[in-house]
Amino acid sequence: MATGPGLKISIDEKRYPGSAAPTFSGFKAEIAPGSVTAILGPSGIGKSTLLRIIAGIDRDYSGHVTIDGQPAAEAAPPGFVFQDPRLLPWLTTLDNIRTAGTGVSTEQAMVALGKTGLSGQASLYPHQLSGGMQRRAALARALTLNAGLLLLDEPFVSLDRTLVEEMYDLIASVAASSGPTMILVTHIVEDAARLADRVLVLSGTPTQIAANLAFPQPRNQRDRDTLDTYRRLIEDAT
Ligand SMILES: Nc1ncnc2c1ncn2[C@@H]1O[C@H](COP(=O)(O)OP(=O)(O)OP(=O)(O)O)[C@@H](O)[C@H]1O
């Protein structure tokens, strides 16, 4: 697969109906092709809204978001991990993964489940999965199409430490093997220090980019000192 797309984001105004102030006004950002960008910022600043605009799900704004030059709403659908896992309760885990797109085979879905450590849960229904398993299933569903653009909204919440380490390895190996463009919304400094090439810290009213940090060290070569430096840079900016 070719490297993931580059994004140009220019939101003139995004205002929710009934809201006194716009969430975004004159907001601009660029995302480099094939990069992993972490977006941090306080609750309610607009991180999930931004992901939905990028995904072409939220079109109720003025401005332009292009994905490799194409309007977001017309671009290929991204892999999207929503904040809540959004599994369909009447389908097994395997069949939930197959809803990622038309023509997803059982084999493809099983590969994605294997990557997230859920091969043994393929025939279980969502209510039979723990919260962490449901999140991993949502991640498997997002990965199964090998989309060029992956949007991850707090994908590691409620996973225990060991699993989070495995998910870091998984995301790093996806980044290294197929090179999608990934945007990771997170509250967790460690997620950004471990995974991101670029960190955007959002703040203010209306929302702006308060800090734009580059983390050039390759993910698999970040030693303790590098990670300490990256963590400190993020903490100073948030
Ligand atoms: N459907 C909606 N209708 C009205 N207001 C909304 C809607 N969705 C979000 N908002 C408001 O827009 C702002 C941004 O919300 P958003 O969920 O994008 O923030 P966030 O940074 O992702 O927050 P969190 O970190 O808590 O998930 C908030 O003030 C929120 O209350």
Helix (H) or strand (E) holding 208: strand 208-214
- Asked if residue 173 belongs to a domain, the reply is yes
Q: Is the CB of 207 under 6 A from ligand 1?
A: no
Residue owning the nearest CA to atom 4 of ligand 1: 16
Domain hosting residue 230, numbered range: 7-78+148-237
Q: Is the CB of 45 under 6 A from ligand 1?
A: yes
- Asked if residue 1 belongs to a domain, the reply is no
Give pTM, 2 decimals. Answer: 0.94
- What b-and-e string marks burial along 106-139, b requiring 16 or more CB atoms within 10 Å of the CB? eebbbebbebbebeebbeebbeebeebbbbbbbb
Q: What is the CATH number of the domain that holds 213?
A: 3.40.50.300
- Asked if residue 38 belongs to a domain, the reply is yes
| ipTM of the prediction greater than 0.85, yes or no | yes
Query: Based on the domain organization, do 110 and 157 belong to the same domain?
Result: no
Please give the number of the atom of ligand 1 that sits closest to the Cα of 50: 18
Query: Based on the domain organization, do 24 and 41 belong to the same domain?
Result: yes
Query: Based on the domain organization, do 209 and 226 belong to the same domain?
Result: yes
Residue owning the nearest CA to atom 5 of ligand 1: 16
Q: What is the pLDDT along the chain (238 residues), one digit of tens a residue?
A: 458 999 999 999 999 999 989 999 999 999 999 999 999 999 999 999 999 999 999 999 999 999 999 999 889 989 999 988 899 999 999 999 999 988 899 999 999 999 999 999 999 999 999 988 999 999 999 999 889 999 999 999 878 888 899 889 989 988 998 899 999 999 999 999 999 999 999 999 999 999 999 999 999 999 999 999 999 999 999 9
Residue owning the nearest CA to atom 13 of ligand 1: 44
- Residue 206 alpha carbon to ligand 1 centre in Å: 13
CA 172 to each of CA 35, 48, 52, 195, 222: distance values in angstroms, whole numbers, following the listed order: 11, 22, 24, 7, 12
- Residue 73 alpha carbon to ligand 1 centre in Å: 20
Please give the number of the atom of ligand 1 that sits closest to the Cα of 83: 27
Please give the number of the atom of ligand 1 that sits closest to the Cα of 46: 18
Query: Based on the domain organization, do 58 and 113 belong to the same domain?
Result: no
Strand order in the sheet with 181-185: 79-81, 149-153, 181-185, 36-40, 198-203, 208-214
